[in-house]
Amino acid sequence: MAAVMVSSAGGLLAMLNEPQPSLKHHALTHLNNLVDRFWPEISTSVPIIESLYEDEEFDLHQRQLAALLVSKVFYYLGELNDSLSYALGAGPQFDVSEDTDYVHTLLAKAIDEYASLRSKAVESNDMVDIDPRLEAIVERMLEKCITDGKYQQAMGIAIECRRLDKLEEAITKSDNVQGTLSYCINVSHSFVNRREYRHEVLTLLVKVYQQLPSPDYLSICQCLMFLDEPQGVASILEKLLRSESKDDALLALQIAFDLVENEHQAFLLSVRDRLPAPKTRPVETVQAIEITDAPNENPSGDVQMADGAPAPAPAPAPTPTIVHETDPVDATYAERLTKIKGILSGETSIQLTLQFLYSHNKSDLLILKTIKQSVEMRNSVCHSATIYANAIMHAGTTVDTFLRENLDWLSRATNWAKFSATAGLGVIHRGHLQQGRSLMAPYLPQGGAGGGGSPYSEGGALYALGLIHANHGEGIKQFLRDSLRSTNVEVIQHGACLGLGLSALGTADEEIYDDVKSVLYTDSAVAGEAAGISMGLLLVGTATEKASEMLAYAHETQHEKIIRGLALGIALTVYGREEGADTLIEQMTRDQDPIIRYGGMYALALAYSGTANNKAIRQLLHFAVSDVSDDVRRTAVLALGFVLYSDPEQTPRIVSLLSESYNPHVRYGAALAVGISCAGTGLSEAISLLEPLTSDVVDFVRQGALIAMAMVMVQISEASDSRVGTFRRQLEKIILDKHEDTMSKMGAILASGILDAGGRNVTIRLLSKTKHDKVTAVIGLAVFSQFWYWYPLIYFISLAFSPTAFIGLNYDLKVPKFEFMSHAKPSLFEYPKPTTVPTANTAAKLPTAVLSTSVKAKARAKKDAEQKANAEKASVSESGSGKGKEATEKEGDSMQVDSTATVEKKAAEPEAAFEILVNPARVVPAQEKYIKLLEDSRYVPVKLAPSGFVLLKDLREHEPEVLSLTDAPTSTASPATGAAAATQGTTASAMAVDDEPQPPQAFEYAT
């Protein structure tokens, strides 16, 4: 057909004015087809067409046609609102299935409109009239999606529009219900902003899950945890445990581990308490619930530790008769119950983590040695920074070799440095729940107040106990409370408050609260600050009215330190409350006092942590540029890091402008924001943003940037990003440079600690694998960022460390020998090579010492007034030193050659492009996607997860198992254990063992 088209719509438009209705109809029909081309012409006649639509005399069909036409014209004119309202008038004429831009745009608009109306209706709690036509269109759309099999779209729309009925329909009708459900959970976490609504969605999901023939208990429990319904979890666990099948029991254990990973202590405890007490072991349960004092707790711990013998072993001594009375089903049930309680209380996972970190510790003492030697003796800041770095480097590994080897050097720490040196032990022994107290015993306040030790080390020891028991402080709370009550020394009070806050994190324990409050009311600056933070830690995420009490006191007191502590504490109470915290935030951010506003920033950060909520971001950006106080501005920028950590790619983009601010405080905040939100990701943009800041003109900006960079680069190997190597060399250079500012030097020292944190086996992770926020980690980083004012708070960063390990467990919660594959070049994820360069460097340092003697020699020579001879001497000595330098350099070279040679030898093998890992293995986050299971393996994991705790199903139960991880570091008698139990740390473990006999004495002494 000859494509003759009309050149103008004028004829048809003229026809609209004809008196005959049928002519008008004819014109409308044709205009509708031509509107895509001739809308500019038609737009001038819109009033006529509108009047046709409004003309009551016309038949309905014609009016709808007119409406559709007007709608299209408005669409082309960009007036989407008008377009939509006319499209609604067009009724059935508006065809949702049409594949045109017009229909797509309008549908999107309609859905947006509907969604915003719906959410407004829900939020303001009154009935907003929603155009039924609008609703009809959206419903038509939903149905179309469902019939076309586009379930994800349908679910997305349903969630947006708050149509839970439709959501349910979409899920149940989909062909892969499990898949859609998990998609839906993901969506609800990442896109549903309002907390209450997310609850509704999750409740629905749980309902759907439970209707499935084979429910996915793992996911249900995750949802239930989010909904805070311990009862539901407990009943599921109970059901699984009661089941005949061993697989179900394994699943239950796996669920427990997954729950523990989210670090929601209060929830875990209430689940545990809701599980029935195992009948066979009444004594044990009593202890679990009301652990009254330490001597009782210790044997129970020992029982759990002594899991060398399989399951029934814990029970035998106390009540053997009862065991005989119950039938075997009950017995296995009871045994499983005990296990699961152990897991839920966190002890099992902490212990396994500890073993892993201890056995795989790869920290490089040479780095510390270099730092130690290069740091000037009298510079106490760098001295304690080195201590901090050591603690962070060995966090959770229990390896304190460095401290033991350098006791003399350590003793230079006085006053608060002593406090933090002692507290550092807590970081090193983090999670060492059983021996923790005995380890710290030499430093603890003895028998009330009159102990001989320095208050600083006593306070530090209490803080250390808190760090060891962070978030799992059932056993230690009482002791800390007693210590707090029995002292008036503010340093000890300081330590005890922090310790209590840490160990009772988020429990909202009234009694502890009262104790801490009474410390606060003594109005002593040092103790009050810690009390403020401690109260916040206690009440994390509870949003209680106590916050206003704290705020009132913050207004009352004169001490800035106390105000700051309280401000942070108040911020902690609103953790994760989102909109619920708005009134408090408003109140704080409008305050006259900059310190309270500063707390307000933290409140914003924590209330909206990980939500990437636009409103919060906008507010923070506003404060970042408009507040008069530098502190508030810095914190506002820093807080962005917390709000955005669930979406790390965004942060560098958002703060990139701020990082070029003229104000150094803002630059510092930007650096830390990136460090916090991109921690452990090795994100390229983040590194590019931080790089220029590490050579900023202002010393504290350099410090912040170095620390942030280290946080970003944790566990990133040089092979995956060459800048990691550059950064390590930069750190070394800064540390060795005599003329570097103290501030940036301290930053560099801390950064090298963080870079190799936890024996190079941990990363900083704020989200668990199921995308839940890790409360402890977030809180830890928030308090850590306070180190600007108070260095001892640096240790809070250890709360954010999470081990990057795959730990497979069998039914007995033992670690069997199990191999799996990492399908990537080993060099990508291997440990950084142990430093050889530092030896060369320390050797190179010697000549500098020689040089200084030459200076001395010069001085002496001056006295002798024999300048020429002196010059000769100097030149001789210098040349000699030069030779020495060359020699050492040669040595260094040869060593480097050696090392590269070995690397080359190794490099020949990795070309195979995979490596076999042995359980338990280090699996860094970036490596997770390469993890594969071997096919003919004896064990099959219950849940497909590339890292964390995974329970393994044994396919060959009758063969003897080979265990690869032993009870190290605590037990000495484990000769039959696997090869992986490290040999390198034996001295340390021996030391730890040496300490062991002490505890009973200490207790006798104490009670």
Partner 1 sequence: MDPQLTEVSQQLERFKAAFVRKDYNTCSDFLSRLKVLLTKFTSLPPLFENTPNAAHELTLARDIYEHAVVLSIKTEDQDAFERDFFQLKPYYVDARNRLPPSPQENLILGLNLLRLLVQNRIAEFHTELELLSSATLDNPCIKHAVELEQSFMEGAYNRVLSARQTAPDATYVYFMDLLAKTIRDEIAGCSEKAYDYVSISDARQMLLFSSDQELLTYVNEEHPEWEVKEGFVVFQKAKETAPCKEIPSLQLINQTLSYARELERIV
Residues in contact with partner 1 by the rule CB under 8 A: 1-2, 4-15, 17-20, 22-23, 26, 30, 33-34, 624-626, 657-658, 660-663, 666
Which residue's CB is nearer to partner 1, number 561 or number 667? 667
User: Closest distance between partner 1 and the C-beta of residue 781, in Å?
Assistant: 24
Rounded to the nearest 10 degrees, the angle between the axes of helix 365-374 and helix 722-736 is: 30
Query: In this complex, which beta carbon is closest to partner 1, that of residue 81 or of residue 626?
Result: 626
Smallest CA-to-CA distance from 240 within 231, 248, 229, 250 is with: 248
| CB 801, CB 758: distance < 8 Å | yes
Closest approach of partner 1 to the CB of residue 42, in Å: 13
Query: Which of 145, 135, 215 lies closest to 174 in space, CA to CA?
Result: 145
Alpha helical stretches, state H, 17-79: 21-43, 46-54, 60-77
The smaller minimum CB distance to partner 1, of residues 37 and 771, is found at 37
> Which phi and psi angles does 24 have, rounded to 5°?
-60, -45
Measure the CA–CA gap between 766 and 203, rounded to whole angstroms: 25
In DSSP terms, 915 is beta-bridged to: 822
Instruction: Write down the residue that tokens 């057909």 correspond to.
Output: 1
Indicate the residue among 13 and 260 with the shorter CB distance to partner 1.
13
CB of 624 to partner 1, least distance (A): 8
CB-nearer residue toward partner 1: 663 or 971: 663
Residue 48 or 857: which CB sits closer to partner 1?
A: 48
Q: Distance of alpha carbon 625 from its chain centroid, rounded?
A: 28
Looking at the Cβ atoms of 380 and 656, the one nearer to partner 1 is 656
Q: How many CA atoms lie within 13 A of 777 on its CB side?
A: 25
CA–CA gap between residue 579 and residue 576 (Å, rounded) = 9
294 vs 621, which CB is nearer to partner 1? Answer: 621
Beta bridge partners of 643: none
Say how many C-beta atoms besides its own lie within 10 A of residue 761's C-beta. Answer: 27
CB of 58 to partner 1, least distance (A): 16
DSSP string, 917-948: EESSEE--GGGGGGEEE-TT-SEEESS--SSE
Q: Which is nearer to partner 1, 18 or 893 (CB)?
A: 18
CB closer to partner 1, 178 vs 656 = 656
Q: How far is the CB of 669 from partner 1 (least distance, A)?
A: 11
Distance of closest approach, residue 29 Cβ to partner 1, in angstroms: 9
Q: Which is nearer to partner 1, 30 or 943 (CB)?
A: 30
DSSP 8-state secondary structure symbol assigned to residue 762? E
Least distance from partner 1 to the Cβ atom of residue 981, Å: 54
Shortest approach of partner 1 to residue 707 CB, angstroms? Answer: 22
144 vs 614: CA distance, rounded Å: 32
Q: How far is the CB of 893 from partner 1 (least distance, A)?
A: 48
As measured in angstroms, the least distance from the Cβ of 99 to partner 1 is 23
Closest to partner 1 by CB, 597 or 760: 597
What is the DSSP secondary structure assignment for residue 17, as one 8-state letter?
A: T
| Nearest distance in Å: CB 10, partner 1 | 4
Supply the minimum distance, in Å, between the C-beta of residue 651 and partner 1.
16
The distance of closest approach from Cβ of residue 7 to partner 1 in the complex, given in angstroms and rounded to an integer, is 5
Which is closer to partner 1, CB of 59 or CB of 148?
A: 59
Q: In what order do the strands lie in the sheet with 915-918?
A: 915-918, 819-822, 931-933
Evaluate whether 717 touches 672 at the Cβ level (below 8 Å): no
Q: Which residues of 20-58 are buried (b: 16+ CB within 10 A; e: fewer)?
A: eeeebbebbeebbebbeebbebbeebbeebbebbeeeeb
- Closest by CA to 28, choosing from 57, 44, 50, is 50
How far is it, in rounded angstroms, from Cα 728 to Cα 539? 39
d(CA 156, CA 170): 10
Minimum CB distance to partner 1 smaller for 620 or for 778: 620
CB-CB neighbours of 873 under 10 Å: 16
Residue among 218, 82, 452, 412 nearest 951 (CA): 218
Q: Among residues 43 and 178, whose Cβ is nearest to partner 1?
A: 43
Nearer residue to partner 1 within complex by CB, 7 or 124? 7
Give the nearer residue to partner 1 in terms of CB position, either 669 or 826. Answer: 669
Q: Which residues contact 919 (CB under 8 A, 6 or more apart)?
A: 806, 807, 808, 815, 816, 817, 818, 819, 820, 964, 965
Q: Partners of 963 in the beta sheet?
A: 816
Residues 805, 349 contacting (CB under 8 angstroms)? no
Nearest of 983, 989, 988 to residue 360 by alpha carbon? 983
Q: Which two three-digit tokens encode residue 796?
A: 């809070």
For residues 635 and 812, what is the distance between their CA atoms, to the nearest angstrom? 48
Minimum Å distance from CB 625 to partner 1?
Answer: 5
Closest by alpha carbon to 270, among 223, 232, 218? 232
Least Cβ distance, residue 163 to partner 1 (angstroms) = 42
Residue 36 CB, nearest approach to partner 1 (Å): 13
Nearest approach in angstroms of CB 702 to partner 1 is: 20
DSSP string, 797-818: GGGGEEE-EEEEE-TTS--B--
Encoding tokens for residue 379? 């510079």
Helix or strand or coil: residue 763? strand
